[in-house]
Structure formats: structure tokens, C-alpha cells
Amino acid sequence: MKTSVLFLLAAILCTCNRVTENSVKPILLLGKPESKIANLSDIASDIDYIPLETDSNSLIRYIYDLKTSEKYFYVKSLSEIICFDKQGSYLFKLNKQGRGPEEYNYIYDFDVSPKNNLLVINTSKKILIYNQSNKGFTFKNSLKCKFQPSQVRFIPNEESMMLSYSTSYGYEKYRNVVIDLNGDTLVTRPNYYKYVKFDDSGLSAFKNDNISFVFGNRLHFKEMFSDTIFYLDHSLKILPYLILNSEGKLPTSQYMADWRNVFNRYTEFIHFNYIIELPRYLIYSFNYANSVWLTVYDKSENKKFGINSTTFLKDDLIGGLNFEPKFCCDGVLYSWVDALSLRNFVESDAFKNSIVKEPQKKMELKTFINSINDTDNPILIAVTLKN
């Protein structure tokens, strides 16, 4: 769908519903930013390092995904979901890999619902729901899916979730489906980008063809073919929220139809990595023309700022490692680093000679390094942004 048509569609939807708190605003993706941001202090007010407790039950080789709630961190480590408190102490984990009715063979995706004390696993054409107590996870029920969702997200403060689907085959009926905890369908959004494949010898799919984030206690989402970010309001209506104007550079259904050229032509199109929204900032990353574009949009000033996608943000607050945004929850940005890399940096001349805004916290970081081992679990980095 061309960008002009998307603008018209968004305007019509916004006019008809008139329930959005914000007008649908366009942000030009490839437009030149006003300036670049190099230092963390340009957008952040504080930073903390949180060690994830290491023992035989909580070993993490790699963090594949992270979720947070008011009380907990949930870390996906291949076939497990490991739960820590907000100080990083290990509590319990979900390790149900298998072929039984309460088990999963692989975790495609997961989400948590703090309000309902639930954890949901997206596995092979099944959605598994587990209750959470202060002692661990117990199986609640299993929902069968006719087609494999690429993503599952709880809707904030609702007893429902949204399933999002890719268009791997080209004929998928729906792009998004909202269901309740019993599996009953509440809302559907059609797949507007169907196509007929060139042949049946390959599938066309990308990891981030559906992107979602929670902001303002609402679930927002974007698909790879559309410039528009949508959201679900409290009556479960799907409404336009924001337009990331690609100037026609998003993948098309015709491009996806011929899998043989998908990767040969990959650099011709914009492919998003993530979108993060905070009270003041919108942060987004995408690949285009053999480059990674990382941008901070300041909503209060209506300005864009570029970030070097290789060096990221220099920690001029306490002198730690350069900060790469990876996840956001409740206005806090998170990243993570392995213990050995952090130790090597803190023991380097770059750290020793760094001039920082918070010298006392720099000394605390140096002391902190002496309390961990090189083989310990990854360490979370929590950054509080300016209001």
C-alpha cells in the first residue's frame, strides 16, 4: 500500500472514531536528524547495574528476551523463562520443554500479565497459559491455534491477548486476532497484504515483521508492510496512533511473493528492529541500505536525533560501558552485558580516565565489579530517562 493511501486511511479512521488522545502524526524516517546524540546524559538522568543471581538453577547463557513487571524480571534463555526479583535475586523458573499437554517444544514468544498473574507461551500452534504465584508457575490451560502466531501480547488491564501473524505463505486470513483467556475471538484485523507465491519452494518471513510495545497502558503494534502504528483502546477498537513515513521504502507483498529475491533485495527496503516509546521520547531502529539507523525522537520538541548504531551512547553519567537500548518498561530503558566484558572495561584505562557527572556512582561500579565472577550471569543495565 502506498504511503499516500496510508495517510488517507489513517486520517479517515481517526476522523470516524475521534477517540484518540493524539492526532496521527507523521515522522519522516529517512529525513536528516536535527543533530546527533553521543552521550547518555543527553537523554538520561540515572543508570544502575543489576546482577542476576547465578546458581545451578538460574544459569543464563544468553538473554534472548526480557520482560518486566513492578516486582519481577522475566528472562528468556532458550527453553526456559527464569524469574528474578527487582534486585536480581533468583526466584523460580518455567522449564516445561517436552511434548506433554502442559509442555512446549520451543518458546517462539512469551509475555506476562502482572494484573492477572499470568505467563503465556507461544509454541507450536499452541498458546500455553500458566498461573504465577510467589512460589512459581502452574499450568492453567492450553489454546490451540489453526495457524502459528509469530507473536502473543497481553492487553494491559484486560483478560485478553492479541495474536499477531506473519504473511509467510501469502494467504493468511488475519494479521491480528484478539482472544480472551478461553480462546474465544473478540476482535479480528484482516491481512490486507495477501499475495500469491512465485512457487512453493520457499517461505518469506522476517523475525520482526510484527513489532509491539506498551505505552500509556495501551498495546501498540506495527506490521512490516504499513507505515502506521496502531493501538488498542480500552474498548478493544484498533485505532491509528502514529505514522512512520517510509516514503514507500517498506517491503511490499509483491517483493515477498518471490522468495528467491527476498534476501538479494533486502537492502532496498526498511526493516524495523524495534520501537520503544517513553513519556518524552520515541526510540526506533531499522535496517536500510546496508546501514542500521538508530533514532531518538523528542516528542516535546518535535525533533529527531541520530545515534551512532555502532558505538551507541557513551556513559558519561558513571563511566560504564556504552549503552545500547534493548528493552523498555514503565519508562525505564534496559540493556545487558556479560560479567567478563564489564570487568574488562572497568579495569581499563578508558574507565579509569573517564570524567563523569556522578563520581560517587563511578566508584560504586568499581566496587561492584569485585563482587562478581567472570562466569556469572549477565548483568542488567537500567537507565532512567529525562522527563
Per the structure, the count of domains in the chain is 1
Range of the domain at 337: 3-385
> What pLDDT does 159 receive?
94
Picking from 238, 334, 220, the residue whose alpha carbon sits closest to that of residue 277 is 220
Q: What CATH number does the domain containing 184 carry?
A: 2.130.10
> What pLDDT does 5 receive?
39
Taking residues 245-251, report their average pLDDT.
96
Residues 169-219: tens digit of each pLDDT: 888 999 999 999 999 999 999 999 998 888 765 666 788 899 999 999 999
Taking residues 295-306, report their average pLDDT.
94
Torsion from C-alpha of 262, 264, 270, 276, nearest 10 degrees:
80
Picking from 214, 113, 39, 230, the residue whose alpha carbon sits closest to that of residue 222 is 230
**pLDDT averaged over every residue in the chain:** 91
Residues 76-95: tens digit of each pLDDT: 998 999 999 999 999 999 99
- Percentage helix, strand, coil for the chain under 3-state DSSP, each rounded to 5: 15, 40, 45
Residues 117-134: tens digit of each pLDDT: 999 999 999 999 999 999
Taking residues 319-326, report their average pLDDT.
96
Q: Is the pLDDT of residue 12 over 80?
A: no
In the chain, the amino acid numbered 345 is F
8 Å CB contact between 320 and 49: yes
Residues 331-349: tens digit of each pLDDT: 899 999 999 999 999 999 9
230 DSSP β-pair partners: 221, 240
